[in-house]
Amino acid sequence: MATHSEPVDILVDDEHIAGTFLTPPTKLPGVLFVHGWGGSQERDLTRARGIAGLGCICLSFDLRGHALTLAQQQTVTREQNLNDLLAAYDLLAQHPHIDPSAIAVVGTSYGGYLAALLTALRPVRWLAMRVPALYRDDDWMVPKRQLDRDILNQLRGRRVTPEENRALAACAEFRGDVLLVESEFDHLVPHATIMSYRAAFHQTHSLTHRIILGADHGLTSESCQKTYTDILVGWATEMVVGGRLGRLQSPVA
């Protein structure tokens, strides 16, 4: 989104000189944060504040089955949580100061999986995924807590194609910019899952893949938390702020 320029006439000492006003767009980019399973929006708030400082409107929220609705965790389904995400997206997109064509989604683990599904249902320009989980299309309406962990581990331990998975199929159609962040020592989302996602993103405008060395799935180390924050804010600065200035980003390996 290029800045708006307006020529002006400046009166000085009974003479006229030319000037130009440059103003930012009247609408701002929006950023939606989606936490992982068993988490909450609390950890996202610090990063959201940093990205809001770039001139973005950020929204974080708690999926059903978490925080104040923790009692529902035994029964909540992926269908319900996807509906939560859709409702949060629609609320952000309807904000009077949001540019609906400039919305980023930042998802972690289960939230990354839901974010991938969202891209097939709503316009998303930028997609950031940290350790995105992967689930079978089967048992969609079964409560998430009842999904077979052994079957999930088998799925995540092999290369999965977009033809056999709804989330990866959405990634294969995505044409925006992507940040994919992996943890070196992740016991829940192994390297094979990350590579399934990476291989699916074959039509993106750009793809940035980063591995946080020494990190586990939950980033329990404070240094790993800081590393991820630096990666995310740096990428958001390049993508979101660069997009507002009308610059094009070249693909990043």
10 forms beta bridges with: 17
Contact 21, 8 (CB under 8 A): yes
CA 119 to chain CA mean position, Å: 10
Please state, in angstroms and as integers, the Cα–Cα distance from residue 80 to each residue in 39, 94, 171, 194, following that order: 16, 21, 21, 25
Q: How far is CA 45 from CA 39, 42, 51, 61, 183, in A?
A: 12, 5, 10, 9, 21
Read off the tokens for 42. 């609390």
What does pLDDT average to over the chain? 92
DSSP annotation of 228 reads H
Cβ burial of 4 (10 Å; 0-12, 13-18, 19+) is: exposed
Q: Where does the chain have alpha helices with state H?
A: 42-52, 78-93, 110-118, 149-156, 166-173, 191-200, 222-236, 242-244
Q: Provide the 8-state DSSP code for 248.
A: P
High-pLDDT (> 90) share of the chain, %: 84
Contacts with 70 (C-beta within 8 Å, 6 or more apart), sequence order: none
- Amino acid symbol at 92: L
Domains delineated in the chain:
27-244 (3.40.50.1820)
Task: Give φ, ψ of 28 to 5 degrees.
Answer: -110, 155
Closest to 112 measured CA to CA, from 102, 100, 101, 124: 124
For the stretch 137-192, pLDDT in tens is: 999 999 999 999 999 999 999 999 999 999 999 999 999 999 999 999 999 999 99
Q: Are 119 and 170 in contact (CB under 8 A)?
A: yes
Task: Report residue 27's pLDDT band, with 50, 70 and 90 as the boundaries.
Answer: confident
Q: What are phi and psi of 146, to 5 degrees?
A: -95, 0
pLDDT given for residue 25 in this prediction = 67
pLDDT per residue over 53-79, tens digit each? 888 999 999 999 999 999 999 999 999
Using the predicted structure, report yes or no on whether residue 247 has a pLDDT greater than 80: no
- Report the alpha-carbon distance of residue 212 to residue 216 in Å, rounded: 9
Give yes or no for residue 250 having a pLDDT over 80. no
